[in-house]
Structure 1
Amino acid sequence: MKAAAKVQGVRASYNQLYCAIDRAVMKAQREKQQASFGLIILYLHQFQLQNEDSTVKAESDADKHLQCLGICPGVMKHSLKHARPVLSLDGAHLKRKGLIHALQQVFPDNHHCCCSIHIARNVEKAFGKQLAKHVHDLLATFSKRESDNSMTKINGISVRGEKCLEDITANQWRNTAWVDNLTLPPRFGIVTINMSESMFGDARDGSWLECTNAIVRTMMNRICTLWEKLYGREVLWRMLQKYLRVDGKTVLASK
């Protein structure tokens, strides 16, 4: 660009040329994206025709601007049929009491349990890593004898730490049944994972949200590629010319 300007006898600083090119590139990309968004609905129509089990919904305003987009591929629907009918509500204590009250009305028989990961972290913060190490052992065992041994070791480190764990009611530790079973020992079959964090943490690449984002990104890439093949790369140069104005022998970046 600098050499071309010199050949034409035009003097311009590197900063002026950089700003002009940057603005032209940004405007070209923005217009390309705007044109691509207009093709998404047509793409979704073809997507649904080729994937009959999928559900696709898109809403646009009077100017054909996309307002919302919802996609549920058929493979996800079939996968949901094999999922456990369990609704996991994570972090209810962070949403104040309104959410808990609503949950009690909608699901009065809901089983409330404590997240073992959060228990271990809270214990580590309050009583140290040495005690938290035994908490992990306690959370992972299904043996009454091993549970009692872990509690004995915890007592030897901190009596307050043991009391903190004992204050958690027995039914909030169990995951062997969704209803209380009085025949089970208090520390038998305790909760070992947080379902929500486990799903999004251990299998983040396969989570529904990431999958939806990947589908949208793929759609946008294909649409942009087709748009570029249709109009050619010279569009960028034409956009660049609009942002360069020759005034005497100086090239200025247009506002």
Structure 2
Amino acid sequence: MCRWIAYIGQPIFLDSLVTQPKHSLVEQSLNSKLNITPAGKLLSTNGDGFGIGWYDKRPDPGVFKDDVPAWHDENLKNLCHQVQSHIFFAHVRATTTGEIQRTNCHPFHYKHWLFQHNGHVTDFENIRRELQMEIAPELYPYLKGTTDSETFFLLALTYGLVSRPKEALQAMVSRVLEALIRTDPDGALNLSCALSDGQSLYTLRFSHNEDAMTLFYSTDIHCFDDFEGSNSCMPNNSTVVVSEPLDKASEKWTEIPNNTFTTISGQSVNTETFFDDNSLSAITQMSS
């Protein structure tokens, strides 16, 4: 289980979200409040690596990540203090799949796309080969690590993410469910994802056979106040998406429902159903 944030809007410095707020992402790497495991335990520490990805003058994003804890890396603090971006991702990792190594840290990127994920699939080791055989041959060389997350991203790219984000994610989730249910009918799939092409921000919240990972967004200009005298505000026409709020003011945050696909541009947030009941039933029945 992991924690992540994603921002879209007027350019801000990355430290406005990553290090400065009262409950910043770096603080969450040490002291998460909502990172509940499937067994019902609070996973307060997310110290198995970190990563940031941002867009600036070029269409492809910059990416910086490492396998050390986020709170331990002064380079992360210094970089976030200097880099300004209109769209950026940040992620702190608590691994359930894959070794603690840099290639397994999020976000993952391909050309002008960024992807980050919180969640898991039951017994990924048992379906890994089947799923990775589905990755398009031209994309397979981009598979560098051993996480389920990277496999999900490359599958979505295989199924047309570049031109049809929602449909590609539907195809990816359908394929993962097919493999999962055939291998373990009682297995779980949990996805809390953020994706961007440098123009828009997309999120997916979906779960099968267990409670969904938490996911919230805010357009409130005060959503990352640090409550210690800072006058820092989020610019107008901007949105931040988080695994858990950056402060304790819950009225500033809207929970993104489960089984939804959300498209965000500036302050425009459009949430739609990901799978309708008939589609989801068809997938699970075909896989049984």
TM-score, normalization by structure 1: 0.25
Determine which structure has the larger helix proportion and give its number.
1
- Larger of the two Rg values belongs to structure: 1
Which has a greater percent of strand?
Answer: 2
Q: TM-score, normalised by structure 2?
A: 0.23
Identify the structure with bigger relative contact order (alpha carbons < 8 Å, sequence gap 6+): 1
